[in-house]
Amino acid sequence: MNKEFTPYEQALTLKELGFDEPCFGYYLCKNSAFGVELELTTNWIDLLPYDSSSCKAPLYQQAFRWFREKYGYLPNIHDFNGNFKATLSGNCNWLGSWTKTYEEAELACLKKLIEIVKNK
């Protein structure tokens, strides 16, 4: 199930870009005797005492929906006989590199979306 969620780094960037939709997952970044701990939790109340490094953990499909609805970018991941390629259509056109797994293509697509919006 965890692979449905965007990684911490991208989730934090999405927060910076203004993503603020309801989520089931949250990354808690807390300082403890063991250093910084990152934790995926479903309890949003836990977010409150922690710093700005904590953030919501959107599902990939949620993040993609957000880019589609807010910016008109439509991501797709295509499977060509076990090789994968991400594409963006709609208000932009982009073709990603070949990847060995669906998840790699999905992450590449999310990174590209973030890059496009950051450079707007």
| Interface residue list for other proteins (CB under 8 A) | 1-2, 4, 21-25, 40-43, 46, 59-62, 65, 68, 74, 76-82, 89-90, 102
Nearest distance from C-beta of residue 101 to other proteins, angstroms: 11
Tell me the three state secondary structure of residue 59: strand
The strands making up 94-95's β-sheet, listed across from edge to edge, are: 73-80, 83-90, 94-95
**Nearer Cβ to other proteins (91/118):** 91
**Nearer Cβ to other proteins (4/118):** 4
**Nearer Cβ to other proteins (89/118):** 89
Query: Using CA atoms, how far apart are residues 103 and 58, in angstroms rounded to an integer?
Result: 15
Nearest distance from C-beta of residue 74 to other proteins, angstroms: 6
- What are the residues whose beta carbons fall under 8 Å from the beta carbon of 81, sequence distance 6 or more? none
Tell me the three state secondary structure of residue 15: helix
Nearest distance from C-beta of residue 71 to other proteins, angstroms: 14
